[in-house]
Amino acid sequence: MPWKSPRAAGFARTRLVASSRWLTRIARSCWRRGVNISAKVTDERVLDVRCDDASLIVDLMDGRTISVPLAWYPRLLHATPAQRAVWEKAGAGHGIHWPEIDEDLSTEGLLRGAPAPAKAA
């Protein structure tokens, strides 16, 4: 169907002007200065860390739990359960450090699903 101008379609000019003013009024009343897009703020700091036979499990302050395979982190995989149990928060809580095996992980890397880099040959 070909396009028709508003007049040809039967709309009076006054009706179009009134509609335009009405839309302008709505736009002005809906816009508020300083209103930001709502974004959920998350707290990706470490709350607790534990390991089972196959997984590293990290609880975050915002209530989320990350679980990744121990196979992704060879130092943790080959460490004893006692060595894995000795960890400390690093980087203001955004990282985990295991002093006995010299392993460091970040919550950012865990959330990205990033395994440890492969050793160069």
Which residues are CB-contacts of 83 (< 8 A; sequence separation ≥ 6)?
98, 100, 101
Residue stretches of the chain with pLDDT short of 50: none
The model's pTM is 0.64
Does a structural domain hold residue 78? yes
C-alpha span between 3 and 10 (Å, rounded): 13
Does a structural domain hold residue 9? no
Does a structural domain hold residue 61? yes
Range of the domain at 90: 46-112
Q: List the CATH number of the domain containing 62.
A: 3.30.2020.40
What pLDDT, on a 0 to 100 scale, did the predictor assign at position 80? Answer: 95
Counting the structural domains of the chain, the total is 1
**In this structure, how many other beta carbons lie within 10 angstroms of the beta carbon of residue 20?**
10
Per the listing, tokens 């980087």 go with: 91
Does a structural domain hold residue 6? no
C-alpha span between 106 and 60 (Å, rounded): 12
Does a structural domain hold residue 89? yes
Helix (H) or strand (E) holding 74: helix 74-78
Does a structural domain hold residue 118? no
